[in-house]
Amino acid sequence: MTEIAIMGYGTIGSGVYEVVETNSDIIRKNAGDALHVKYVLDLRNFPGQPVEKVLVHDVSVILDDPEVKVVVETMGGVEPAYTFVSKALAAGKSVATSNKELVAKKGAELMALARETHVNFFFEASVGGGIPIIRPLLTCLTADDIEEVNGILNGTTNYILTKMEREGTSFEAALKEAQDCGFAEKKPEADVEGYDACRKIAILLSLVLGKRVDFEDIYTEGITRITREDFAYAKALGGWKIKLLADGWKEGDKVYAMVAPFLVRPEHLLYAVNDVFNGIMVHGNMVDDLMFYGRGAGKEATASAVTADVVMAVKNPGVTVYEGWSSEKQELADIGDTDHQYLARVAEKDAARFEEEFPGALKINAKVEGECGYLTPVLPERTFVQKAARAGVKHSLRVQM
Amino acid sequence: MTEIAIMGYGTIGSGVYEVVETNSDIIRKNAGDALHVKYVLDLRNFPGQPVEKVLVHDVSVILDDPEVKVVVETMGGVEPAYTFVSKALAAGKSVATSNKELVAKKGAELMALARETHVNFFFEASVGGGIPIIRPLLTCLTADDIEEVNGILNGTTNYILTKMEREGTSFEAALKEAQDCGFAEKKPEADVEGYDACRKIAILLSLVLGKRVDFEDIYTEGITRITREDFAYAKALGGWKIKLLADGWKEGDKVYAMVAPFLVRPEHLLYAVNDVFNGIMVHGNMVDDLMFYGRGAGKEATASAVTADVVMAVKNPGVTVYEGWSSEKQELADIGDTDHQYLARVAEKDAARFEEEFPGALKINAKVEGECGYLTPVLPERTFVQKAARAGVKHSLRVQM
């Protein structure tokens, strides 16, 4: 019997508690030992619920108990998670977390600490919820030069964009509906401004490069400015969609990363990833394109990944299984140098000026009152921005190549 | 420096040789040691090629050299691969193979042998080519009750079916084209009769269950009887497609498996898997549906997976990383008991008889000369077969639910 503790009994933490209970036989078989939740840490009380009998309010109960071998961290946020996790690792306990803020901000340090004390700091659930992506990158794609990771990494925004596309609703109306269904938070900024996807691509890129990518360095644009008109043009282009993509890629010795809404063609791998689902495309120089698809959020799916990390920790006592990434900082190149094709929207009165500024732009045959939409040739971001300012472009969207 | 040997210098074996060469820096970093191909075993000579200087014709050179730590087996077929691999494992060398015939037939024995000598028998490339699927099943989905694995596991047949669907060609013409493009063998039976997909689903199901599933027990139907008329009905049903699915699933304490062409609706995960690509759907009771997508065959992609297995073996000297499955046999339940909906085709003259036999069947509005097509209600396979015989059904296809 291996004793574990769960820090944070919210959606994911209570999910882990349930998974350990429901799938106990399978977990025992796979881990080589039964799991038992000895403590659950939460500030709240849960009177009458089964968790009540293992509930503690003081983290030191967990940290000071040598019987606890693995700690699950599902509190979210950098603090106090960072302090608690550091102490757990220092105390010789492995940690499994779903907390992308923590991993993106403090991953390198925590992995180094885990190596020092010969335990593990696992975070499969921090990206892509239940989708296996971190362990496949670390153990299956080890013979490839991974040149790109590009994904739909946020279920909330994908739900909103799918809703807008299918029902012609506005961003505000789709957000409201997502909130009513529990797919979006009351404070939706982390999702709709792209911050969540940004942290996730920082984690994936750090893994691929073996160096620390600071999420603060990643150009990040959310979906709040996407309108019905954008979808009208996307449809007119042949049923294209708009997806919030989190993309990190290498070009020579340069590394680029960005989070932004993109127009996506039907032929693209990520085109079919709709609703709350996530899809993560990985391109290796040998394996070519792969896609990992599934539920990128949600209680059971995310808890499944966290619990599988616990199983991995139980199977590897005294051994740090993965190196992770170093604390050496990876500089990102300026996305002003990257080339894109753009959907550009201008007021009707500015159409002539636009066409002069962008020779070779294609006018899109869509009925949007008072304005014209164009598809520009491929050109560097920096050039586009300058020309767009001169041409009076009201709104633009990049096209995924 | 870790010395390795490659047995079989065909498409995959030469691919491994190239991957080890091309990505040597990445591999050294990930394995913690550089790889060096000390021997390549093949009956042929390759005069003037770089491989010439490490070529051997006698397997005992490899088996008797204690410097060789990992052996790559890319010969294909059960013998002599089985004899060579057994001897390598017995000699304390880990083995990485892409050979599904070998794994499906002798997997349990070879894994047991690897455990005895504290080495590894890895076979990631035996299913899904370059797609990570075996290691994710063994290391990421360990907290889930895996209830189903359903995949497009054969690229050749998927290419042929995609061709037939898009261009309205006959099976024979599409097969010929696949052969001309190098996507199908001159002797295409293993692919088009479903034997290859059958071995692959046997491997996946054995992994999921931890017991030996004999591929000979799996009901297997190929695509040789699929015609243009089938696609005409599929299209009339709303753009449905026909896919060769390899499906294994649990129902209570029963396990079912089958390989057969199915009608697939646009909403299904595997609908978007076209051409030579593979897609593998995994359903867990917690994680819900996942899909793993990529190149299921081909030189570089498959070699990428084999080489990653070598990296894993190098990183784990003296430790058998996975249990694999036991030699205990898993009985499969009779697919006569499974429920399906069917597309059934009858000659015009038999339509009345059919409608009497299958009340509630929907007539499909497609123009196929001299016959009628129906969609039956959901009913047990056994019942369908009996009724179909009485009703004079010429050809039928199951519908993927």
In Å, how far is A395's CA from the nearest CA of chain B? 32
Task: Please report, as a single letter, which amino acid is at residue A373.
Answer: G
pLDDT of residue A346: 97
For the segment B45-102, what is each residue's pLDDT rounded down to a tens digit? 999 999 999 999 999 999 999 999 999 999 999 999 999 999 999 999 999 999 999 9
**pLDDT tens digits for range B185-211:** 999 999 999 999 999 999 999 999 999
Q: Do A145 and B23 touch (CB under 8 A)?
A: yes
Q: In whole angstroms, give the CA distance from residue A164 to residue A167.
A: 5
Which residue from A142, A307, A311 is facing B311, i.e. has the nearest CB? A142
Closest CA to A270 of A298, A292, A302: A292
Pair A63, A88: CB distance under 8 Å: yes
Q: Given this model, what pLDDT does residue B401 score?
A: 87
Whether residues B291 and A286 touch (CB distance < 8 A) is answered with no
Nearest CA distance, B273 vs chain A (angstrom): 10
Give yes or no for residue B323 having a pLDDT over 90.
Answer: no
Domain ranges of chain B: 2-129+299-315, 135-293, 335-399
Give B 117-156 residues with CB within 8 A of chain A. Answer: 124, 130-132, 135-136, 139-145
- Which residues of B fall within a CB distance of 8 Å from A304? 141, 143-144, 284, 286-287
Per the prediction, chain B carries an average pLDDT of: 97
Residue B182's pLDDT is what?
87
Of A210, A287, A304, the CB nearest to B284: A304
pLDDT confidence of residue A352 = 96
Which pLDDT does position A182 carry in this prediction? Answer: 87
Question: How do residues B22-56 score in pLDDT, each as one tens digit?
Answer: 999 999 999 999 999 999 999 999 999 999 999 99
Task: Output the 3-class SS for chain B.
Answer: CEEEEEECCCHHHHHHHHHHHHCHHHHHHHHCCCEEEEEEECCCCCCCCHHHHHEECCHHHHHCCCCEEEEEECCCCCCCHHHHHHHHHHCCCEEEECCHHHHHHHHHHHHHHHHHCCCCEECHHHCCCCCCCHHHHHHCCCCCCEEEEEEECCHHHHHHHHHHHHHCCCHHHHHHHHHHCCCCCCCCHHHHCCHHHHHHHHHHHHHHHCCECCHHHCEECCCCCCCHHHHHHHHHCCCCEEEEEEEEEEECCEEEEEEEEEEECCCCHHHHCCCCEEEEEEEECCCEEEEEEEECCCHHHHHHHHHHHHHHHHHCCCCCCCCCCCCCECCCCCHHHCEEEEEEEEEHHHHHHHHHHCCCCEECCCCCCCEEEEECCCEEHHHHHHHHHHHCEEEEEEECC
In A239-339, alpha helices (H): 299-315
Instruction: Write down the CATH number for the domain with range B135-293.
Output: 3.30.360.10
* Cβ <8 Å between A312 and B286: no
Among candidates A354, A383, A315, A351, which has minimal Cα distance to A29?
A315
Quick check: A142 and B30 CB within 8 A?
Answer: yes
Over residues B146-186, the pLDDT tens digits come to 999 999 999 999 999 999 999 999 999 999 999 998 889 99
Catalytic annotation, residues of B: 200
Strand partners, A247: A150, A258
Distances (CA, A) of A353 to A139, A344, A350, A390: 53, 13, 5, 8
Q: Regarding the domain delimited by A2-129+299-315, which CATH topology (the fold level of the hierarchy) does it fall under?
A: Rossmann fold (3.40.50)
Say yes or no for a CB contact (<8 Å) between B142 and A284. no
pLDDT tens for chain A, residues 1 to 401: 999 999 999 999 999 999 999 999 999 999 999 999 999 999 999 999 999 999 999 999 999 999 999 999 999 999 999 999 999 999 999 999 999 999 999 999 999 999 999 999 999 999 999 999 999 999 999 999 999 999 999 999 999 999 999 999 999 999 999 999 888 999 999 999 999 999 999 999 999 999 999 999 999 999 999 999 999 999 999 999 999 999 999 999 999 999 999 999 998 989 999 999 999 999 999 999 999 999 998 999 999 999 999 999 999 999 999 888 999 999 999 999 999 999 999 999 999 999 999 999 999 999 899 999 999 999 999 999 999 999 999 999 999 98
DSSP symbols for A375-387:
EPPSEEHHHHHHH
Instruction: Give the tokens for residue A132.
Output: 């296996």
The per-residue pLDDT for A40 is 98
pLDDT for position B346: 97
For the segment B259-282, the average pLDDT, to the nearest whole number, is 95
Alpha-carbon gap: B318 to the closest alpha carbon of chain A (Å)? 14
User: Are B143 and A27 a contacting pair at CB < 8 A?
Assistant: yes
Q: Which positions in chain A touch B291 (Cβ < 8 Å)?
A: 291-294
pLDDT recorded at residue B117? 97
Which positions 309-338 of B are in contact with A (Cβ < 8 Å)?
A: 310-312
Beta-sheet strand order (sheet of B2-7): B55-56, B35-41, B2-7, B68-73, B94-97, B121-122
Contact of B222 with chain A, judged by CB distance below 8 Å, is answered with no
CB of B253 within 8 Å of a chain A CB? The answer is: no
Task: Judge contact between B3 and B69, C-beta under 8 A.
Answer: yes
The C-alpha atoms of residue B288 and residue B147 are separated, in whole angstroms, by 9
- pTM summary value: 0.97
CB contact (8 A) between residue A140 and residue B143: no
Contact assignment for A145 to B26 by CB distance below 8 Å: yes
The pLDDT value recorded for residue B25 is 97
CA separation for the pair A313, A373 (Å, rounded): 54
Interface test with A, best of B139, B145, B322 (most A CBs within 10 A): B139
CATH fold, domain A335-399, is Alpha-Beta Plaits (3.30.70)
User: For residue A137, what pLDDT is reported?
Assistant: 97
- Residue A190: predicted pLDDT: 96
Token pair listed for B163: 């061709």
pLDDT of residue B267: 87
